[in-house]
A = this chain, B = another copy of it.
Amino acid sequence: MSIESRCPVPLLKHETIQMAHGAGGRLSRELTRKVFLPHLGNRCLEALDDQAKFFLEAGMVAFTTDTFVVSPLFFPGGNIGDLAVNGTVNDLAVGGAIPRYLSAGFVLEEGFSLAELERVVKSIANAARIAGVQVVTGDTKVVQKGQCDGMFINTSGIGVVKKGINVSCSNLKPGDRIVVSGTLADHGMAIMTAREGLSFQSGIMSDTASLNGMISKILDEVPEVHAMRDPTRGGLAATLNELAGASRTGIVLDEAALPVRPDVQGACELLGIDPLNVANEGKVVIAAPAENAEAVLRVMREEPGVSGKDAAIVGEVVDDHPGMVIIRTVLGSRRILEMPLGEQLPRIC
C-alpha cells in the first residue's frame, strides 16, 4: 500500500493557499508536485532533495540574490514571476557572467489564489526558458492572512563569468562613454500608472526582459567594456551615482541624448517624478572606452525586436568632480544629478 493509495482525495481541492501548504507535510508536497514541478521540472528539481547539485568547470562564479515585493503582482508587460527571473538573470549578466541556475523562494499569504500562483509559476518557467536558465531548487513558506501582501519571491542565481572579462562598478575610466540600451523609466512608470489606474489610457508597458543574450554578444565583440549595470531601483540616477562613487570619477550626462518614450515622459510629468529616478527592468547601462562605444551601440541596435532600437550614447566619464554626476540640460545649463532618496517609488520590484 503506497502513500498515494492511502490519500485518494486530491489534496489540491483547495482553491486557495492554506497554512499547511507551507508546513513541510503532505500539502507542501502536493503543492510542489502539482504546481511547481509540472512547469519548472528538471533533473535537479525533481530529485526533491534539500539542495540541487550540478557540475561546474573551474572558474570565476557569480552569485546574486533579489527578493521581489512588487505591487501589483500583475502589471502591463509582466508579473512578479518573469520580473524575478529577469532581474536575477540580469544581475548575473551585468557581472559578465553567463547565468545558469536559479533558486525560487516563495512567501505566500494564506488565502492566496492557487490559480494566480500557477500563472506566476508559468511566467517563471517561460522567462527561464527564454533566458536559458533552470530553476533547480526552491522553497515555499505560508504566512497567515494579513501578514504578507499576497506573494513575495526571492530568486537567487549562479552564473559562470566569461573568460577574459573583468567588469565592475569600480572600473570606470575618464574618457569612457556611457551607453544605455534603450528608453528609460518604462518599468517603474508601468507600475505607477497601474497603481494610479492610468494604465489603460497610458499604454505604458514594463520593459522586463532578460539581457544576457544581448550582453553576451556585446562582450564577445567588445571585451574592453569597463562596467555594466541594469538601472533598476533608483533609475539611471542611482546607477550612475553608484558607478561614479565606486570608481571615484565624475560623469557628465547629455540630457538631450537621453531616450525616454513620450508617454513615459508625460506620465512622469503628471505624477511629478523625474524619469531619471525611475526603474527599468530590461535595460543595461554600459561604460566603455570612447573608441569602443559605437561598437557597443551597434550590437544593442542589432537586437531583435524593439529592445535595443533606442540605444544611445548619453554621456561620458570625466576626471572632474569625482563621485558626482552632472547633467548638461537641453538649455545648456549644468546641474547635479543627485542620488535619489527613493521614497517616491515604493515596491516597484
Contact = CB atoms under 8 A, between A and B. Distances in A.
A104 B63 CA distance: 11
Interface of A: 1-3, 18-20, 22-29, 47-69, 91-92, 94-95, 97, 101, 103-107, 136-139, 141-144, 146-149, 152, 154, 156, 158-159, 161, 168-170, 229-230, 232-234, 238, 241-242, 245-246, 277, 279, 321-324, 339-347
Nearest to A97: B51
Given A51-B97, A65-B156, 12 more contacts: A19-B343, A24-B340, A25-B234, A25-B343, A26-B340, A49-B168, A58-B58, A63-B158, A69-B107, A107-B107, A107-B152, A146-B146
A334 to B, nearest CB: 14
A63 B103 contact: yes
B101 A63 contact: yes
A95 B340 contact: no
A156 B101 CA distance: 12
A94 B50 contact: yes
Given A48-B242, A67-B107, A152-B107, A25 B340 contact: yes
A82 B147 CA distance: 22
B233 A143 contact: no
**Interface residues of chain A: helix, strand, loop or mixed (majority):** mixed
Contact of A143 (B3, B18, B49, B347): B347
Contact of A229 (B50, B56, B144): B50
B95 A345 contact: no
A178 B169 CA distance: 51
A24 to B, nearest CB: 3
A324 B242 CA distance: 56
Contact of A63 (B29, B52, B152, B344): B52
A154 B67 contact: yes
Contacts of A61: 53-56, 158
Contacts of A279: 24
Given A97-B51, A322-B2, A105 B156 contact: yes
Contacts of A91: 50-51
A19 B348 CA distance: 12
